[in-house]
Structure 1
Amino acid sequence: MIDKNQQLITGEETVRGLFSYLSDIEKTYETEEIQWEKSHLLVKSYPLENIGTVIIGMDITNEMHVIQNIVWFLLIITVIFSVLFAWVGHFFAGQAMNPIQKSFQTQRKFVSDASHELRTPLSIFYSSLDVLSGEENLSSFGKEVLEDAKSEAEMMNKLLNDLLFLARSDQGNMELDLEEYDFSSLLDTWLTSFARTVPAHLSLQ
């Protein structure tokens, strides 16, 4: 208990030196938590008419340390479990991606191998067409069919080149070869090829 002149009237000062500190702070008459030196205190002030003020409180240092330890423990546990969950997620994601990667590697190898293996018979077929085109006994219709076969062989060869291009691009060995192309001649070739299969009452232009 202190009087109006902030002088100690009576009371047991369990925390030495605290009274001088409390006498300097503003009296709000509300319960508040204060920190003094290494102690945490819960303090309440009551005004007494014509006498002064009664100050009561208790030491909550141990409780504050327990709360701080719990907070630190929860933070550490959160970090540990976050790292653990991240590692588990990465592990299972890698396990799930393994079959996909193996399938992709198998498909890429198949495309590359098939392109190379088909080149040999296609080259032989194309060479045979060149030999046949040199025959003088062929009818005009036969020569026309032969030219169509050569055209289809060239398109097949282009398809193989495209497959090889895709295989190389997947391996990071892609090389672009840009050149001008006569699109009109390609359209004429397509029209000639389809003209034989179109019914008589239809025409292609």
Structure 2
Amino acid sequence: MLARLRRKLIAITMLLVGLVLAGVLGSSLFSSALMQRGIVTDILERALSDGAAAVTVGDSSDKSTAELMLAVVVDVTDDGVIFDRTSFVDNVEDAVVSDVVREALDSPDDSGRATCYPVAWMKAHAAWGWRIAFVDTYLRGATLRAQALSTLTIFLVSMGAVFAISYVLSGWALRPVQRAWEQQRRFVSDASHELKTPLAVILANVQILESEDDLGEEARGWVERTADEARHMRGLVEDLLTLARADEQEATGPTQSHLASVDVTELVSGCALEFDAVAFERGCEISCDLEPRVSASADPERLGRVVRTLLDNATKYADAGSAVSVRVARDGRRAVLSVSNHGETIAPEDLEHLFDRFYRTDDARERQERGGFGLGLAIAKALVEGMGGKIGATSSTDGLTTFTVTLQARSAGGGLAR
């Protein structure tokens, strides 16, 4: 949990800083592009109006800021014949001039850019036909490309620095949370261990009392209720210990040492067979659709507990006379287990909390009838995530509720599926 929280903090920080940085750098690059485009347009407009090939851009009185731009001005008849050309650029080939003039005359626009050359052009009507001016934009384009490359470099270096800083600061900020989390986990684990011994003594004493023949009916009822509550408490302690171990594994990070190639089809088939009698007593049945030889990277004991939890939950809340559907299939690189039942529709606000600890959609009175403490699905989620998988639930308006477990599939040779 803490690792996910740290990743979220880093991601949020990088997203916010990245958006601001991208906005600033992008605005600067966009402003430069507009400025360069405005300069080129100004050159072409002055060249057309003055008929001169040398145009001063900027303040001509200030030699430090004024810039002399060279353009090519061509006068063309309506038939496309070039009869005058003014240029201080001696190395402009006639073929280039002819191609640009032809493209400008063919275009319905008054200005544009040549398709085959880094040239911007502009044309205007004249008494003899057309006057066309064009200027080389290669250097300005190269300047923009260089600025774009430097902008990208600055952005990447800055984001790398932000990641490093946010990684260090997030660890520092989460130290109190980590300390509290470890203390809570240690308390739950220690308290659960300490409760096991007195619970064992209570259950042993209760069993001795239940074996007494001269125990009155009223006293026997008290003893039986005490035994039931003690067994419930023992189950709660075992669940808390399981969650404490899952939290410890999550805190240390997932490892592959306890995982092996598990035949999910065979394991689910065995668990479904175990619950046939339970389903019959609860007024429903189990229907299996199991794809053969579906293997996954998992711990067989933990996966077995997850399957039994889902089957117990599905048969407990299924409508009388309905069928609990169990399906195992391979989906690309994943092994997918789904358990579905028809019952009461789970509200969307409850779906978000189904895997929370001690959360129950039914009321306290119903707990007396169906048992449980609201830890089964929380334990299943912790076990699945500890094996690198995912678990989720959906519920439709017609009462179809489906729990889905996704694990990393294994190939027939035992390796991870590619």
Q: TM-score over 0.5 for the alignment?
A: yes
Is 1:7 aligned to residue 82 of structure 2? yes
Given residue 76 of structure 1, which amino acid in structure 2 is its aligned partner?
Answer: T
How much has 1:165 moved relative to structure 2? 1.6
Kept after mapping to 1: 8 A contact 2:114/2:120:
yes
Give CA deviations for 1:84-133 in whole Å, capped at 9, x if unaligned: 44554455445444543443343333323322322323433454556667
**SS in structure 2 of the partner of residue 26 of structure 1:** helix
CA displacement at 1:164 relative to structure 2: 1.6
2:132 matched residue in structure 1: 55
* The one of 99, 105, 112 aligned to 1:32: 112
State the 1:154 CA deviation.
Answer: 4.7
CA contact (8 A) 1:112 1:163 kept: no
User: Which amino acid in the other structure matches residue 126 of structure 2?
Assistant: L
Partner of 2:240: 166
| 1:20 equivalent in alignment to 2:88 | no
Alignment check: 8 A CA contact 2:122 2:133 kept = yes
d(CA) in 2 for partners of 1:129, 1:47: 110
Matched, 1:121 2:198: yes
Query: Alpha carbons of 1:166 and 1:129: their partners in 2 closer, same or farther (altered >3 Å)?
Result: closer
| Contact 1:122-1:153 at 8 Å conserved across structures | no
Work out which of the residue numbers 46, 50, 63 in structure 1 matches 2:124.
Answer: 46
Task: Establish whether residue 152 from structure 1 lines up as the match of residue 226 from structure 2.
Answer: yes
* Aligned counterpart, 2:153: 76
Q: Amino acid of the residue matched to residue 114 of structure 2? A: I
**CA-CA distance at 1:10 after TM superposition:** 4.5
Is the partner of 1:171 in helix, strand or coil?
Answer: helix
How far did 1:63 drift?
2.1
Amino acid at match of 2:136: D
Structure 2 counterpart of 1:190 = none
TM-score normalised according to structure 2 size: 0.33
- Which whole-Å CA distance do the structure 2 matches of 1:16 and 1:128 have between them? 108
What percent identity do the matched residue pairs reach? 17
Runs of 4 or more above 6 Å deviation: 132-136
8 Å contact from structure 1 (residues 115, 161) kept in 2: no
How big is the shift at 1:159?
Answer: 0.8
SS in 2 for 1:54: strand
Aligned residues: 176
Q: Equivalents in 1 of 2:210, 2:84: separation in Å?
A: 128
Instruction: Say which of 42, 56, 67 aligns to 2:144.
Output: 67
For 1:113, give the aligned amino acid: D
Q: Distance in 2 between matches of 1:129 and 1:36?
A: 96
| 1:135 Cα deviation from its structure 2 partner | 7.7
Tell whether the 8 Å contact from 2:124 to 2:131 is kept in structure 1 after alignment: yes
Q: Which runs of no fewer than 5 residues in structure 2 stay unpaired? A: 1-73, 247-300, 313-367, 370-418
TM-score (norm 1): 0.59
Bigger CA radius of gyration:
1
